[in-house]
Amino acid sequence: MIGAATRRGLLALAIPGCATAQPGMVTPPAAPGGGLHARAAAKGLAFGAATSTRQMAEPDLMAAFLADCGLLVAEYEMKWAELEPQPGNRRTRRADQLFDFARRNGMAVRGHTLLWHESEPRWLSDLSARGTAAAMAQHVDATVLCWRGQVTTWDVVNEAVAPEDGRPDFLRRTWLLNRIGPDYLPQAFHIARAADPNARLAYNDFGCEHATAWSRRRRLGVLGLLRGLRQAGAPVQVLGMQAHLQAGQPFEASEWRAFLADVAALGLTIEVTELDVNCRALPAAAGPRDAAAADLVRRFLDATLEEPAVRAVVTWGLTDRHSWIREGRLPEHRRRDTARARPLPYDDAMRRKPIWAAIAAALDAAPPRG
């Protein structure tokens, strides 16, 4: 287990606390060179993963989480529809459980996410444009104030870019955009900054990583949005790149590095926020599949961590048994055979996979940050 003092070395951002084992936990075998967060912290980086309150009931998973993670992200518990299922009826109990776990174990917390089109509560559809703007402002303000001083980085807006929606600015046609207009984006950042002057504020998005026409259009949209926010004076400080990697799609390190350099030139830092691998295009056999997925992760992280502006790596879960890819909600995640998805660093039995080793090797090889 990584001690709290080591965790607090994470960019001077970790929440005060002490690392304590939970009752019934199974401690994973020690890894030569240490866990993933220890390797990251040695280079001035952070490493963490998303988790949920239901996963906290699994001792073997929580033991691996403590061994590898200095940064915790709530999968669902901090999203608007979860926090406010009815107008004015705010529920923070489940999210508070994750904050309590982080405090007791010396972990930082990454806030995910204040605004996302898939977590807008249904009751928003009953509101006028003015009512929608007021509800958005109240939600952002109340949520950031609730955990003021306890969140290192907030994803203020998530996935606002959708070139396929046909707008010249590449913005996604969401309820907030349709009701309020593009100004909802800088407004959200300004409200979050007023609520917590010290939290870092991020825009978070997906699909920019591969050398495909689709990814290139998304990169144009993301850069355009970031430039627009900066020109509007919005206090955006971080770009979160989800990195839901797609095995079988081309990845060009030089092309990706050029995009990261463009982001850094805007004065932003960068965080990898939801790393995993969709292995639908890979063979069913676990050995070759794991090797190919790990190779993609290693090439992606080697290129990404060469950029000095990159400061964190977060996986979207730790174990295959809890992955949104395995749930098959999107058609592109569903395999044509009976093999189960293997997108994350640990398998169902909480054994480290080649993806874990690829992340460890990339962190070990990363240039140190100041």
Read off the pLDDT of residues 26-85 as tens digits, 9 standing for 90 and up.
556 777 779 999 999 999 999 999 999 999 999 999 999 999 999 999 999 999 999 999
Positions in the chain short of pLDDT 50: 1-24
Instruction: Kindly tell me the burial class for residue 295, based on how many C-beta atoms sit within 10 Å of its own C-beta (0-12, 13-18, 19 or more).
Output: middle
Among residues 75, 84, 120, 159, which one is catalytic? Answer: 159
pLDDT at 227: 98
Tokens of 172: 């996604």
**DSSP per-residue string spanning 180-238:** H-TTHHHHHHHHHHHH-TTSEEEEEE-S-SSSSHHHHHHHHHHHHHHHHHHHTT----E
Specify whether the CB–CB gap between 33 and 70 falls below 8 A: no
The domain segmentation of the chain, as residue ranges, is 4-365
- The SS3 assignment for 284 reads coil
Residue 277 forms beta bridges with which residues? 245
pTM: 0.92
159 catalytic? Reply is: yes
Look at the block and give the residue holding tokens 């609520």.
195
Among residues 58, 120, 271, 274, which one is catalytic? Answer: 274
pLDDT at 223: 98
274 catalytic? Reply is: yes
- What is residue 13's DSSP assignment? -
- The SS3 assignment for 37 reads helix
The sign of the torsion formed by the CA atoms of 124, 159, 221, 281 equals negative
CA 370, chain centre distance (Å): 23
pLDDT at 5: 38
Residue 246 forms beta bridges with which residues? 278
pLDDT at 299: 98
Domain spanning 4-365 has what CATH number?
3.20.20.80
Buried b (16+ CB within 10 A) or exposed e, 300-330: bbebbbbbbbbbbbbbbbbbbbbbbbbeeee
- Residues 193, 111: Cα–Cα separation, whole Å: 14
